[in-house]
Chains A and B, each alone.
Chain A
Amino acid sequence: MKSFYSEKIFIALATILLFAGCQRDDICPASTQTTSLLVIRFYDVENRDTPQAPINLRIKAVEDTSVLMLNVNQDSLAIPLRTDQDITSYEFTFNYAEEEDPESPVEENNTDIIDFYYARDQEYINRACSFKINYSGLNARIDPGDDAAWISDFVIEQEEVENENNAHISFYY
Chain B
Amino acid sequence: MKITPTYLSIISIILLLCANSGTAQTEQTEQLQDSTEFKQKYGLRVGLDLSKLIRTAFQDDYRGFEVIGDYRVYRSFYAAAEIGNEQITFDEGLIRATSSGSYAKIGADYNAYNNWQDMQNSIFVGIRYGFSTFSQELEEYTIYTTTPYFGPDTRTPEDPETTGLTASWIELMAGIKVEVLNNLFLSANVQLKRRIGQSSPSGFDNLSIPGFNRTYDDSQFGVGYAYTISYLLPLYKK
Contact = CB atoms under 8 A, between A and B. Distances in A.
Contacts, number: 112
Interface in A1-28: 1-3, 5-7, 9-10, 13-14, 16-17, 20, 23, 25-26, 28
Q: Range of interface residues on chain A? A: 35 or more
A70 B120 CA distance: 76
Given A122-B203, A124-B204, A130-B93, A3 B113 contact: yes
Contacts of B147: 37, 80
A130 B94 contact: yes
B68 interface: no
A83 B151 CA distance: 10
B142 A130 contact: yes
A35 B146 contact: yes
Contact of B144 (A1, A17, A28): A28
A90 to B, nearest CB: 11
Interface SS, A side = mixed
Interface residues of B, number: 40
Interface in A50-75: 61, 64, 66, 68
Contacts of B65: none
Nearest to B191: A13
Contacts of B90: 127
19 contacts: A5-B125, A6-B123, A7-B123, A20-B216, A25-B218, A26-B93, A34-B144, A34-B146, A35-B144, A82-B150, A83-B153, A122-B143, A124-B204, A124-B205, A125-B144, A127-B207, A129-B94, A130-B144, A131-B94
